[in-house]
């Protein structure tokens, strides 16, 4: 780096000297005789006074006493002066990972690639330093008690602001999926908030998320196409016969199972957003603990602080996940109750129990995973901090989608089962509403069991035709998911 900057300074000095001399007559003056020292000095002084400097450049040089002048030149083009200066600019910019357009070199920039170069600058040059500063502040400025509530994070939104069309398209997507509310978007655009703008919405004709279950219940009919949820007003509902025959009930149950699968897909984005926030908080806290403990090689203290963090983390976990879980559970309950014509039911207690179970499962799984990888890192003489950073990178990339898929299907099955029990349903049927190429789900499709029974005996090895490996059944399978990625549903057996 020193040599690169030194060469740049040398080029700058050369250019300054070249143009300050101005005469552009660097060369050899040849005298036919022999000059005394005084004559030599007088000759140099007279030439410099008459010709040196930009104001005297390109004048005619007059020589006396039969002297000859032989210029010794190396034009700047021959020395590739411009090319060298541009290369040194690129070399120094490369050292500090700064795109050339930020140094006013637009020779290779266009309106299109400047935006992407700016995003790359934020992601790969600024962001790594911001993360280091965030972790240092979290560790050094906040007490252990304060870190339960607060954490520091730089906002780079202003650096990533695109043109107005791109910004508003992004805002529209974020608002429709419940990520931003209207007032948060107005704040980003330096606009004043308005009353009612703090509510989060999803694509239920852009209604309040908290009113989803109520609206569906009042409308009595739910239609989902792709990821958009719509309700049909009562006056548009076709009159149904009071008594349905077995075939009609079966058809209605199939429609209901497919509707619940679409509901799960529609809510998956909300779950992913929540899990992303959870992992961000976990990363900030756990890395702060790791940096403080492993700097002093205190492995025992790390374990104690990790236990304490995840015990306190349950409160934050509950606050973040409860609105989404309860709203989604209500929507599933309304659909399942409509399927069995159940008018009066209450699943609040069931939802609370599910919420507690989720909080416990999430915390236990993540704490256990961190404990295991740290123990292995120490055993293999690896840096635990680096191992944790890689693990959190993987979590941020994969966990939101994994948790979302599992929980949306699990909640749909658990809530439907609870509603069916209230309605007095005695038998259930497994419905494969996902991929028809899955041998496990296809093998169970259409299987009927009692409502208190497991679809597969606990402790058995389930390997249907076409399956490569058996599934070990460790717990009762009274509803989906049967395996990772399973999106099956259960229905009453008529």
Q: How many CB atoms lie within 10 A of CB 367?
A: 19
Maximum average pLDDT range among 130-144, 238-252, 455-469: 455-469
- State yes or no: pLDDT of 370 exceeds 90: yes
Dist CA 411 CA 425 (whole Å) = 19
Beta-strand ranges (E) seen in 383-447 are 427-431
Burial 207-238 (b: 16+ CB within 10 A, else e): bbbeebbebbbebeebebeeeebebeeeeeee
Residue 418 has pLDDT above 50, yes or no: yes
For the segment 329-358, the average pLDDT, to the nearest whole number, is: 92
What percentage of residues in the chain have a pLDDT greater than 90?
Answer: 44
376-404 mean pLDDT: 94
To the nearest 10°, the Cα dihedral for 284, 287, 292, 297? Answer: 170
User: Average pLDDT, whole number, for the chain?
Assistant: 81
CB atoms within 10 A of CB 371: 14
CA distances from 324 to 170, 271, 397, 404 (A): 22, 7, 21, 11
- Residue 26 is predicted with a pLDDT of 56
CA 158 to CA 316: how far, in whole Å? 28
Average pLDDT in the 435-453 region? 94
Residue 241 has pLDDT above 70, yes or no: no
- H or E stretch including 296? none
CB atoms within 10 A of CB 78: 8
pLDDT higher than 70, residue 368:
yes
Q: Which residue has the higher pLDDT, 125 or 218?
A: 125
Higher-pLDDT residue of 165, 474: 474
Of 1-10, 163-172, 470-479, the poorest mean pLDDT is in 1-10
Burial of 395 (C-beta count, 10 Å sphere; 0-12/13-18/19+): buried
Residue 431: per-residue pLDDT = 95
Question: What pTM was computed for the model?
Answer: 0.55
Task: Give the residue-averaged pLDDT of 373-379.
Answer: 93
Instruction: Give pLDDT tens digits for 125-137.
Output: 888 888 899 889 9
Q: Residue 279 has what pLDDT?
A: 95
pLDDT tens-place string over residues 78-93: 456 566 667 767 777 7
Nearest to 467 by CA among 449, 489, 482: 482
Contact 163, 114 (CB under 8 A): no
Is the pLDDT confidence value at 112 over 90? no
Q: What is the pLDDT of residue 8?
A: 59
**Is residue 413 classed as helix, strand or coil in its secondary structure?**
helix
Instruction: Identify the pLDDT of residue 353.
Output: 94
pLDDT at residue 72 in the model: 54
Average confidence (pLDDT) over 363-371 = 96
């Amino acid at each position: 780096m020193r040599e690169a900057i030194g060469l740049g300074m040398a080029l700058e000095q050369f250019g300054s000297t070249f143009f300050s001399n101005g005469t552009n007559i660097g060369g050899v003056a040849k005298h036919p005789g022999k000059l005394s020292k005084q004559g030599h000095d007088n000759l140099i002084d007279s030439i410099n006074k008459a010709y040196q400097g930009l104001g005297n450049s390109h004048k005619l040089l007059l020589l006396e006493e039969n002297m000859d002048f032989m210029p010794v030149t190396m034009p700047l083009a021959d020395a590739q002066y411009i090319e060298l200066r541009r290369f040194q600019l690129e070399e120094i910019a490369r050292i500090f990972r700064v795109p050339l357009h930020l140094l006013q070199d637009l020779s290779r920039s266009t309106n299109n690639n400047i935006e992407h170069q700016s995003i790359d600058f934020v992601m790969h040059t600024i962001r790594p330093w911001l993360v280091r500063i965030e972790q240092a502040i979290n560790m050094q400025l906040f007490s252990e008690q304060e870190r339960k509530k607060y954490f520091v994070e730089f906002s780079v939104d202003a650096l990533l602001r695109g043109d107005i069309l791109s910004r508003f398209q992004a805002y529209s997507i974020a608002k429709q999926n419940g990520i931003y509310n209207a007032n948060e978007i107005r704040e980003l655009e330096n606009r004043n908030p308005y009353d009612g703008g703090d509510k989060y919405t999803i694509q239920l004709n852009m209604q309040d998320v908290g009113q989803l279950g109520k609206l569906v219940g009042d409308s009595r009919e739910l239609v989902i196409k792709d990821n958009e949820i719509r309700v049909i007003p009562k006056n548009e509902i076709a009159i149904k016969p009071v008594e349905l025959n077995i075939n009609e009930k079966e058809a209605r149950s199939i429609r209901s199972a497919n509707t619940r699968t679409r509901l799960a897909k529609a809510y998956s984005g909300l779950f992913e957003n929540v899990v992303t926030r959870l992992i961000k908080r976990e990363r900030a806290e756990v890395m702060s603990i790791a940096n403080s403990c492993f700097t002093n090689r205190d492995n025992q203290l790390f374990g104690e602080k990790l236990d304490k963090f995840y015990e306190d983390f349950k409160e934050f976990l509950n606050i973040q996940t409860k609105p989404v879980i309860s709203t989604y559970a209500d929507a599933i309950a309304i659909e399942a109750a409509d399927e069995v014509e159940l008018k009066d039911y209450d699943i609040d207690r069931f939802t609370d129990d599910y919420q507690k179970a989720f909080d416990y499962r999430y915390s236990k799984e993540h704490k256990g995973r961190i404990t295991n990888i740290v123990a292995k890192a120490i055993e293999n003489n690896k840096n635990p901090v680096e191992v944790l950073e890689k693990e959190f990178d993987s979590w941020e990339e994969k966990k939101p989608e994994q948790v979302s898929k599992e929980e949306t299907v699990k909640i749909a099955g658990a809530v439907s089962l609870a509603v069916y029990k209230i309605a007095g349903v005695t038998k259930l049927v497994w419905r494969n509403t996902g991929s028809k190429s899955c041998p496990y789900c296809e093998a169970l499709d259409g299987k009927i069991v009692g409502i208190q029974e497991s679809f597969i005996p606990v402790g058995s090895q389930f390997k249907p035709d076409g399956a490569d490996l058996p599934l070990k059944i460790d717990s009762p399978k009274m509803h989906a998911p049967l395996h990772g990625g399973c999106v099956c549903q259960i229905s009453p057996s008529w």
